[in-house]
Amino acid sequence: MRNRRLINKVAWALFTICFVIVLNFFLFRILPGDPARAGIRDPRLTAEAQQAIRVRFGLDKPVINCFASINPPKPADCFVNPLDTQFFIYVGNLFRGEFGISYHSNQPVAQVLAERTWNTLLLIGVAQFLAIILGVALGVIAAWKLGTPVDYSALIFSLVAWSLPTFWLGIILLFWGSTNLGLPIGGMVTPGMNYASIWAQVIDVGRHMFLPTLTYTIVFLGEYMLIMRSSLIDVLSEDYVLTAKAKGLNSYQILKAHALRNAMLPMVTIIALNLGFTVAGAVQIETVFSWPGLGGAIYEAVGQRDYPMLQGAFLLLAVSVIVANLVADLLYTYLDPRVQLE
Amino acid sequence: MESQLFSLYILPEHLWGEKTAQAAIDFTNDTMVGSGPFKLAEYRQNQFVRLDTNQDYYGSVPKVDGAILQTYGNQDALVQALKTGEVDMITEMPNTAVAALRNDANIQLVVGAPLDPGVTDIIFNLVPPDQCPPDGKCTGHPALKDLTVRKALAHATDKQQLIDIVLLGLGTPGLTLIPDGLGVYYNNTLQDYAFDIATANKLLDDAGYKDVNGDGVRETPDGKAPLSFRLNWAGDMSSGPRIAELLSKTWGEIGIKVEMQGLDPDTLTSVCCPAFDYDIIIWGWGSDPDPAFLLSVMTTDEIPTGTSESGYSNPEYDELFAQQAVETDKEKRKELIWEMQAIALRDLPYIIPYYGQNVQAFRKDRFQGWITDSSKIALEDPSSLSLIEPVK
């Protein structure tokens, strides 16, 4: 039975991904505009040259049977070979593991996405890790010291951190860090450096990462702390915690054995959701610190109507959100025996 | 001729000569071939370009070993990078940073016409019904086709205020699409429409545009349509919302209402031209060193191609454009081009709020020898990069 439920959940996840694949294709083609003109901002581009670009990227073929284009809607022949339409070429290529070639950078989308995704994962992964550890710790302390000055200061700090506009905090930290700590202002590496050793390279990337990581950690720390605190306060007011106290258990034992595991449940949800969206990167942080991540790549691709990049990136986002949710579902059954897979 | 040479490059015949058009498109050109003072050493898209000095350059070999052109995600970071010395020179900055950098002892500001003069323009939809392109919608407000209304709008446009607020003073008032940065081709004898709300109101009153229903917005003489125009701008122009806001204020004083909306550039292209599905657009052009292209934008031939944004059509102007294209006498060609500018200012297919200036800055304690006294400012140009040397 347990396995059947598991298979069921995975099947639904796969179905959702298929739906996203179809949606992605049509979503971007509903936007007005012409990629053959948007990518190349030169009005002197002749009609022939524009047509050559369309042929090169297969944009001269009908989007799907009966539709030459969706916005503006233009009818086309309905009796063409469906396999020779943009939609089925796209789906066919996906099944072969090909995401296409970016209209703008002329590089394979998979290659661009892979590089950008690693950059983003490095930055956001470290920052999320720090934010979770510190946020949970701070939340536990605040809830345990409920009503004391420690609680109030932690609460005020978290509320402020959570409410700060990301780009504003980023700019302030950028000015502060570059002036007082001598940290680099933009990019991921110092351009044109010849590293003496791998360690020199790690240190260089680390110096570039410090400020964006700090910004991201502060912004997310507040959210984690607030949720952990309120969740733990709820649990601590339960009767069984009172019973534990009556049994003579000390604070540490009550927290560890009775309260924390239950209080972590809402945290798992919020962390899983955040991790899913993590791949989207933080466009604002990436912009402030000129970090070559995925968020920035998506932002640029929208402006350039770079369909293959958008399709690839959105598929990646959708898959990571779906997988993160699936993991959260499975983790729930482990943390809370009341939630059964069957 | 000059404008043609501008986009013609020297290419190695043994690589390109035999290729068919298709083979030329498919050729990846991995090993870059060029003939300049620098060689491309490393390129990371949206991160940096690293150039090495070409020691075999036929001209004077640059004194520096190379140059790195780094991309920053926002202009404030760029200014900070110059202040801390992470970079030695920056090619652009927000105008708000100018005052702070001017007071920095280690930094020299350079202000001048850009190498590639840009024009910001306010475009009116003038396309005549009989010229509407086959795939056009041509929904422009009929009142804008009346020159009197455009003249009133010109009189109600406070160009000095736009320069002071949008550019913080770093610009000159605009006349036509031909910017002052184009030197002799710029007609500096033309008289602009003075900012004068009373004159603008009188023009509209006399032409019968009255506010009949008393809602503060004038109606067309037949009383049917209010003078309420859609005003769009390109979302990637940081100046767009400010210009729109300032225009809506002074235009509001003459009983003209605008519905403001920024659109992303590609969406704007699809409503603009050749669809002509708009009333007024704030946008811009980059220019060649030669005015021929910007002049072609106002010709009838360019209406169906989408290059003409206004749909302006005037046989007299078209005839002059054809003449200047074949005129070989430089002085005579200049006369033709000046006359075309006079026509453009008279007929107002565009209001040009200003011509922007380029502001760049470099650190005085790092490199010296930048070209700062040229009529056009481009510190990043190889001409400057090959002259600079470290400060001792």
pLDDT in tens, chain A (342 residues): 567 778 888 898 899 999 998 888 888 888 776 666 665 555 566 777 777 777 877 888 888 888 877 776 777 778 888 888 888 888 888 888 888 888 887 788 998 888 888 888 899 889 999 999 999 999 999 998 888 999 999 999 999 998 988 889 999 999 999 989 988 888 888 887 778 888 988 999 999 999 999 999 998 899 899 999 999 999 888 898 889 888 888 888 888 888 888 888 888 888 887 877 776 667 888 888 988 888 888 888 877 778 888 888 888 888 888 888 888 888 877 777 776 654
Per mean pLDDT, which of A118-127, B268-277, B341-350, B380-389 is the most reliable? B341-350
What is the residue type of B42? E
Supply A88's token pair.
């089925």
pLDDT in tens, B85-133: 999 999 988 888 888 888 899 999 998 887 777 789 999 999 998 989 9
Supply B33's token pair.
């071939």
User: Which of A192-196, B74-78, B206-210, B318-322 is predicted least confidently?
Assistant: A192-196
| pLDDT over 70, % of chain B | 97
Contact A195, A204 (CB under 8 A): yes
CA distance A227 to chain B (A): 33
- In this prediction, residue B257 carries a pLDDT of 95
Q: Which residues of A touch chain B, with CB atoms under 8 Å apart?
A: 31-34, 37-38, 41, 43-44, 47, 52, 56, 72, 105, 171, 174-175, 178-179, 182, 184-188, 191-192, 286-292, 296, 300, 302-303, 305
Residue of B nearest to A30 (CA): B267
Work out the number of other CB atoms within 10 angstroms of the CB of residue A260.
17
Domains of chain B with CATH codes: 10-104+358-390 (3.40.190.10), 118-356 (3.10.105.10)
From the list A32, A52, A72, which residue is nearest B25 (CB)?
Answer: A52
Domains of chain A with CATH codes: 2-95 (no CATH), 116-335 (1.10.3720.10)
Residue B1 — very low, low, confident or very high, per pLDDT cuts 50/70/90?
very low
Q: Counting every residue, how long is chain A?
A: 342
From the list A33, A56, A290, which residue is nearest B73 (CB)?
Answer: A290
Query: CA gyration radius for chain A?
Result: 25
Q: What are phi and psi of B120, to 5 degrees?
A: -100, 130
Q: Do A185 and B80 touch (CB under 8 A)?
A: yes
Q: Which residue of A290, A298, A302, A309 is the best one to mutate when testing the B interface, meaning the one whose CB has the most B CBs within 10 A?
A: A290
Q: Which of B353, B356, B357, B358 is nearest to B174 (CA)?
A: B353
- In this prediction, residue B374 carries a pLDDT of 78
Buried b (16+ CB within 10 A) or exposed e, B267-293: bbbbbbbbbbbbbbbbbbbebbbbbbb
β-bridge mates for residue B207, sequence order: none
Rounded Cα distance, B283 and B235, in Å: 10
Residue of A nearest to B306 (CA): A43
Question: With contacts defined as CB-CB under 8 Å, which chain B residues touch A302?
Answer: 264
Q: Which residue of A104, A185, A188, A304 is the best one to mutate when testing the B interface, meaning the one whose CB has the most B CBs within 10 A?
A: A185
Is-above-0.80 flag for pTM?
no
Residue B135 — very low, low, confident or very high, per pLDDT cuts 50/70/90?
confident
ipTM score of complex: 0.74
- In this prediction, residue B118 carries a pLDDT of 79
From the list B70, B236, B271, which residue is nearest A191 (CB)?
Answer: B70
Residue B82 — very low, low, confident or very high, per pLDDT cuts 50/70/90?
very high
Rounded Cα distance, B117 and A99, in Å: 39
Rounded Cα distance, A56 and A289, in Å: 35
Higher model confidence: residue A5 or residue B278? B278
Higher model confidence: residue A72 or residue B4? A72
Question: With contacts defined as CB-CB under 8 Å, which chain A residues touch B72?
Answer: 185-187, 290
Q: Which of B247, B270, B250 is nearest to B260 (CA)?
A: B247
Rounded Cα distance, B77 and B71, in Å: 10
pLDDT in tens, B201-238: 999 999 999 998 889 999 999 888 999 999 999 988 88
Residue of B nearest to A286 (CA): B73
In order of A134, A139, B211, the CA distances from A142 in angstroms are 12, 5, 65
Q: Counting every residue, how long is chain B?
A: 392
Give the sheet arrangement for strand B48-53, strand by strand: B38-44, B48-53, B66-70
Peptide bond into B133 cis (omega under 30): no
Considering only residues 21 to 80 of chain B, which have any Cβ-Cβ distance to chain A shorter than 8 Å?
Answer: 25, 41-42, 44-48, 50, 66, 68, 70-74, 76-77, 80
CA distance A174 to chain B (A): 8
